Amino acid sequence: MTALAEPDARTAPAMSGAASAYLDAVRAIAANVVVVSHVLLVYVGGSSMGAAAFAVALFFLLSGFLITQSMLNWQSRPQPRLGGFLADRVARILTPYVPALLLVVAANAFFISSKWGEPGVNSGALAFLGNLLMLQDHSAFQLLAILHVDVPWRIRPYNAAEPFWTVSIEMWIYVATGLFFFCVLGHERIRRRVLWPLVALSVPVVVWNAAAGGGKSLTLIWLLGAVAGWAIAGLSASGGRRTAWLAIWLVALGAAGLGGRIAKVGFDAYELQTAALIAMLVFGVLIGLARVPSVPPLLERGCRFLASYSYSLYLIHNTVLIAAFEATQDMPRWLSIPLGVLLSHAVAIALYWAFERHHRRVAQWLRPRFARAIAPPVAATGRAATAPLFRSAPH
């Protein structure tokens, strides 16, 4: 038997045209900052980790914000909800990711001869399977390394596809937060044979990346975005009064604090205090644009286009840059670098048009299958045969 959400459940509001264009612009800028940082790394041999960290922090802030909005919208639907939510997330992540992984394997077979990344397994069948299952740089491998346990099957992102390390973190954050939101808070029931493997795979990643990992505190940065998503939904539900002043205060305080932080200790976007100040700036501007209905059509279309394939660009650009770098060794840098960047965008656009833009169709196909696999069978009494994670206290 299904149950409707509570009548006063908070839902995510529709965004204004200006706010939507702004988020698209932030996504596009973040993706291209990563491209520039990897151009410097591949072609120049310089370190640009500060710029790359800033872009990744932006991605995780936006991810937390948008996924929380998605969970709030799913909350207004009849149960079961977890299967549909996870189907949407899996489709969004994997629809371009799997073809991108196949392209990376092909590029390594035919175009790339150099080795990239950290020590570990990053090529061959085991690396392919591990990346396909989102086990690259899993917290279990990192914990074993700290314990000085050397395993020959430590899986890394596939060679020349180093950006994959953040994709697996995001996937397991989605799983863990979905379990918490729908099963712990929403008392939704789930098959135990599905529950415990998901908990075992996702929770260690969430805990590890709250304190360590390549991004130091990516889980906490994601949660900053989630809190912003929840707060902005509540702000809109209350009528959004005085949002202009709130936006001004957030942006002013965030800018002043970030400037002082950089002057004192330098810039590290993975550091939680710095990320919180960045979040104040990013979401302060978003709140300020909430009542701006639109932007010029050309600007809106440009932001939407650049953002549309930003995830595909993030996935494939590094592999294309390395392949282009190896193929253009004899070219002058002023020619080989623009060529590599243009090829990265061209391949990303092709990946988007061939695969990524179809993620909603994939999600529609997955939803009933995930629902059947995750939701427990219903007994003759009409009650699910499996208990929820936590029972409500008796009244």
If the chain, 395 residues long, is cut into consecutive pieces of 10 residues, what is the mean pLDDT of each piece? Answer: 38 80 97 96 82 95 96 89 96 98 98 90 95 94 83 91 96 98 93 95 95 90 97 75 87 97 94 97 95 92 97 98 96 96 98 98 97 76 48 44
Given this model, what pLDDT does residue 380 score? Answer: 35
Given this model, what pLDDT does residue 9 score? Answer: 45
Given this model, what pLDDT does residue 12 score? Answer: 63
Domain range summary for the chain, segments of one domain joined by +: 17-371
SS3 177: helix
Given this model, what pLDDT does residue 356 score? Answer: 98
List the beta bridge partners of residue 155. Answer: 121
Residues 6+ apart with CB under 8 A from 293: 16, 17, 18
Contact 309, 351 (CB under 8 A): yes
Given this model, what pLDDT does residue 387 score? Answer: 47
Given this model, what pLDDT does residue 14 score? Answer: 75
Alpha helices in the chain (DSSP H): 17-39, 49-75, 82-110, 125-132, 139-146, 164-178, 192-211, 218-237, 243-265, 272-288, 297-308, 310-327, 333-354, 359-374
Separation of alpha carbons 77 and 371, rounded Å = 14
Long-range residue pairs from 257-262, CB within 8 A, at least 24 positions apart, any chain: none
